[in-house]
Amino acid sequence: MQVPPQANTNPNAKSNPRILILGAGVAGITAARTLYRNGHHNFLVIEARDEIGGRLRSHTFGNGTTIELGANWVQGTQVGDGPSNPIWDLARKHNARTVFNDYSSITTYDGSGLVNYTNVVDDAADNLDKISRLAGKRVADNLVDLNAREGYSLVGAKPQSSHDKVAEYFNFDWEYGDTPSATSLAAAGLVRVSQGTFSDEARLSIDQRGFKVIITAEAKEFLRPSQLLLSSTVRTIGYARSGVRVTLANGTLIFGDYVLCTFSLGVLQNDDVRFEPELPDWKMEAIQSVTMTTYTKVFLQFSRKFCWDFMPTRKEDAILHGAASPSTHRIFLLTLDSPKGQYSERIEALPDQQVQSEVMGVLHSMFPKTDIPPPSDFFFPRWHSDPLYRGSYSNWPASFTREHHDNLRASIGCGKRKRLWFAGEATSLRYFGTFSFLMLSVIY
Ligand X SMILES: *[C@@H]1O[C@H](CO)[C@@H](O)[C@H](O)[C@H]1NC(C)=O
Cα 249 from chain centroid? 26
Q: Which helix (H) or strand (E) holds 359?
A: helix 352-366
| Region binding ligand X by CB under 6 A among candidate stretches 85-93, 114-122, 127-135, 219-227 | 114-122
| H helices, E strands: number in the chain | 13, 23
Q: For ligand X, which is the closer residue by CB, 231 or 357?
A: 231
| Region binding ligand X by CB under 6 A among candidate stretches 6-14, 92-100, 156-164, 228-236 | 228-236
Q: Is residue 317 within 8 Å of residue 118, measured between CB atoms?
A: no
Q: For ligand FAD, which is the closer residue by CB, 47 or 145?
A: 47
Sign, CA dihedral 273-36-78-406, equals positive
| Region binding ligand X by CB under 6 A among candidate stretches 125-133, 226-234, 387-395, 407-415 | 226-234
| Region binding ligand X by CB under 6 A among candidate stretches 28-36, 224-232, 289-297, 396-404 | 224-232
Residues in contact with 293: Cβ distance below 8 Å, sequence separation at least 6, in sequence order = 176, 177, 178, 391, 392, 393, 394, 395, 433, 437
**Residue 262 lies near ligand FAD (rule: CB under 6 A):** yes
Task: Return the residues of window 215-234 that contact ligand FAD according to CB under 6 A.
Answer: 233-234
Number of neighbours of residue 322 by Cβ within 10 angstroms: 18
Helix residue ranges, H only, 141-259 = 148-154, 162-171, 173-176, 185-198, 213-220
Give the closest residue to 401 by CA, choosing from 289, 269, 238, 236. 289
| Region binding ligand FAD by CB under 6 A among candidate stretches 21-29, 92-100, 149-157, 333-341 | 21-29
Task: Return the residues of window 396-425 that contact ligand FAD according to CB under 6 A.
Answer: 424-425
Residue 303 binding target from ligand X, ligand FAD, none, CB below 5 to 8 Å by type: ligand X
| Region binding ligand FAD by CB under 6 A among candidate stretches 109-117, 134-142, 260-268, 402-410 | 260-268
Q: For ligand X, which is the closer residue by CB, 53 or 189?
A: 53
**Residue 260 lies near ligand FAD (rule: CB under 6 A):** no
Residue 54 binding target from ligand X, ligand FAD, none, CB below 5 to 8 Å by type: ligand FAD
Alpha carbon distance 356, 94 (integer Å): 36
Q: Looking at 250, 326, 351, 416, which residue binds ligand X (CB under 6 A)?
A: 250
**Residue 59 lies near ligand FAD (rule: CB under 6 A):** no
151 CB-side CA count, 13 A: 32
User: Minimal distance in Å, beta carbon 171 to ligand X?
Assistant: 17
Alpha carbon distance 302, 441 (integer Å): 12
Alpha carbon distance 294, 437 (integer Å): 7
Residues in contact with 153: Cβ distance below 8 Å, sequence separation at least 6, in sequence order = none
Q: Is residue 128 within 8 Å of residue 171, measured between CB atoms?
A: yes
User: Minimal distance in Å, beta carbon 46 to ligand X?
Assistant: 8
Task: Return the residues of window 280-319 that contact ligand X according to CB under 6 A.
Answer: 301, 303, 312-313
Q: For ligand X, which is the closer residue by CB, 85 or 108?
A: 108
Q: Which residues bind ligand FAD (CB under 6 A)?
A: 23-28, 46-49, 54-56, 70-73, 75, 233-234, 262-264, 267, 272-273, 295, 383, 388-389, 392-393, 424-425, 434
